[in-house]
Amino acid sequence: MSKPDEGIPPSTYVIDPEQVAELARLMQQERVVTEGMGGLLPEGQELPEDGRVLDLACGPGGWAMEVAFTYPQMSVYGVDISPSIIEYARGQAQARHLENVHFRVMNIMQPLAFPASFFDLINARFIAWFMVPAAWPKLLAECRRLLKPGGVLRLTEGEPPLTTSAAFEALMDLATRALQRAGQSFSPDGRHVGITPQLPRLLRQAGFEEVRLRASAIEWSSGTPAHYGFFKDFLIAFEIGRPFSIKLGLATLEELERLTQQAVAEMQQDDFCAVSLLLTAWGRRPATDSAPSNLSSS
């Protein structure tokens, strides 16, 4: 019987995942990021025709459903902590007649209810914004348990974008300092999230082999196809993430509202420039792995 890890809180989401606005934000994000990175698996991972894929913190399920559509013989699973978002994902899968995708409510910082050596590939994108540093080794050990020998763990993360908006930069600085103050960051000073340089080390320490990296640069300057999607993504995040910065004493509501209004104006200027830099790290569970099959059991 699985038990929660006592040293890890049940939820460290900066944004309440049950908010309707968060669902809209994640839907925007899924689409523009997948397109901007060059597809579902642009690194070239090969999957067996009848394999199984798991998407951690899957949100509305866009990536998982596209994998299920592209590989109709595969079984795809998505897990997320939000019951309402999982309900939405299930409804979308049913509407698209995707019978090979399955969504379940689970907290990825706790043991996952799947058998050992079950998946060929496990995917996760942008989980650093709610993960605490102590949770990473536990999650990667759980992923190693769940992967078949030779299976792939694929992680995509990013640091704050680079933009020409002074107000946007100020808001992102508040966000990363809030994460650092709350103990949810690898950054020594709060100037960034600090996850991207950690990814390959975390994979190697968890026992994964053939660890590799691929960088993606997505431009979302004014006039580019990705501009509106990223603009809406960050605008919603700034608005519904305000309580986190206020609770930690980094800014007042009035200051955050003023900065958001200024950022909106600057991000809609014709000369606004922005680029998001993402890093995907992946590694394989050793083919002769002797990792115990009961890592999530008491």
Per the domain annotation, does 197 fall within a domain?
yes
Overall domain count for the chain: 1
Per the domain annotation, does 94 fall within a domain?
yes
Per the domain annotation, does 89 fall within a domain?
yes
Per the domain annotation, does 2 fall within a domain?
no
CA distances from 187 to 33, 86, 126, 169 (A): 24, 31, 16, 17
CB 19 within 8 A of CB 13: no
CB 77 within 8 A of CB 106: no
The two structure tokens encoding residue 254: 């009035």
Rounded distance, CA 125 to CA 242, Å?
23
Check pLDDT > 80 for residue 23: no
Per the domain annotation, does 4 fall within a domain?
no
Domain that holds residue 115: 20-284
CB 56 within 8 A of CB 122: yes
Per the domain annotation, does 264 fall within a domain?
yes
Q: CA angle, corner 296, sides to 140 and 193, nearest 5?
A: 30
Q: What is the 3-state secondary structure (H, E, C) of the chain?
A: CCCCCCCCCCCCCCCCCCCHHHHHHHHHHHHHHHHHHCCCCCCCCCCCCCCEEEEECCCCCHHHHHHHHHCCCCEEEEEECCHHHHHHHHHHHHHCCCCCEEEEECCCCCCCCCCCCCEEEEEEECCCCCCCCCHHHHHHHHHHHHEEEEEEEEEEEECCCEECCHHHHHHHHHHHHHHHHCCCCCCCCCCCCCCCCCHHHHHHHCCCEEEEEEEEEEECCCCCCCHHHHHHHHHHHHHHCHHHHHHCCCCCHHHHHHHHHHHHHHHCCCCCCEEEEEEEEEEECCCCCCCCCCCCCC
CB 178 within 8 A of CB 248: yes
CB 59 within 8 A of CB 88: no
Residues paired with residue 56 on neighbouring β-strands, in sequence order: 79, 124
Check pLDDT > 80 for residue 18: no
The mean pLDDT value for 127-146 works out to 95
Over the stretch 200-246, which tens digit does the pLDDT of each residue have? 999 999 999 999 999 999 999 999 999 999 998 899 889 888 998 99
Residue of 30 and 121 predicted with greater confidence:
121
Domain with 247 in it: what CATH number? 3.40.50.150
Q: CA angle, corner 223, sides to 43 and 41, nearest 5?
A: 10
Per the domain annotation, does 153 fall within a domain?
yes
Over the stretch 38-77, which tens digit does the pLDDT of each residue have? 999 999 988 898 999 999 999 999 999 999 999 999 999 9
The two structure tokens encoding residue 183: 């103990």
Instruction: Look at the alpha carbons of 165, 171, 173, 176 in this order and tell me if their dihedral is positive or negative.
Output: negative
Looking at every residue in the chain, the average pLDDT score rounds to: 90
Q: Find the range with the poorest average confidence among 22-36, 143-157, 166-180, 191-205.
A: 22-36
pLDDT of residue 294: 47
CA distances from 189 to 12, 114, 124, 144, 186 (A): 20, 38, 26, 31, 9
CB 200 within 8 A of CB 250: no
The two structure tokens encoding residue 91: 């409804």
Over the stretch 165-204, which tens digit does the pLDDT of each residue have? 999 999 999 999 999 999 899 999 999 999 999 999 999 9
Per the domain annotation, does 15 fall within a domain?
no
